[in-house]
Amino acid sequence: MPKQDPSNALLQKKSGKPWYREWGEAIGVALILALIIRTFLFQAFKIPSGSMEDTLLIGDHLLVNKFIYGSQVPWSDDRFLILRNPQRGDVIVFEFPLDTELPFYKRRDFIKRVIGVPGDIVEIRDKVVYINNEALVIPQEVHKGPSFSEETSRDNMPPIQVPQEQYFVMGDNRDRSFDSRFWGFVDKAQIKGLAFIKYWSWDSTKNRPRWDRLGRTIE
């Protein structure tokens, strides 16, 4: 008769279940909790481009608060438990508006800063952004050129009003950002959440972590 592992026997005696069932249930619960957290609370993202420099660098890993603007019901535009609406200056992650007709697995996530909220009149004159005819000062704004585009909308844009339930967004690296100046507004339903902290950062050019960026809040 084969010897019985004492540890397995003890586990079965305590719970009345085989060890492999106990482990399976524990893993199942962990997966369900992870899915709930990712869907309704927090989600991790990695920065792939320099459109938000120097606020966010290529290789930064960040967490997004998915409940502050209201947790979104899966496969619906409805939200519940809304704490507040997006505000000017928020750094948000959203589904790229031009991808809405693509299958969900092909849709891209963008990250930009909210510049205009519903009702605002946004205008750009010689790279200066005006909101309701007043110059908007964003300390994080940089101009690193050369631009990836020679379209005049990058530096100059006639006044436009932000529709209800929509937002005008721009990258902090103004000369290198593909944003609302080129493709329009972001619908509130497309916003996934507020980027709030950098939990990891990897400098691929030097092949080492950026220790000074870890744990820094995103402003």
Query: Which active-site residues does the annotation give?
Result: 51, 112
Distance (Å, whole) CA 176 – CA 64: 23
Structure tokens at 13: 């005696």
Bridge partners of 187, per DSSP, are 166
Note the maximum CA span of the chain: 88
Query: Quick one: which H or E segment has residue 73?
Result: none
Backbone phi and psi for residue 18, each to the nearest 5 degrees, phi listed first: -65, 155
Distance (Å, whole) CA 96 – CA 218: 21
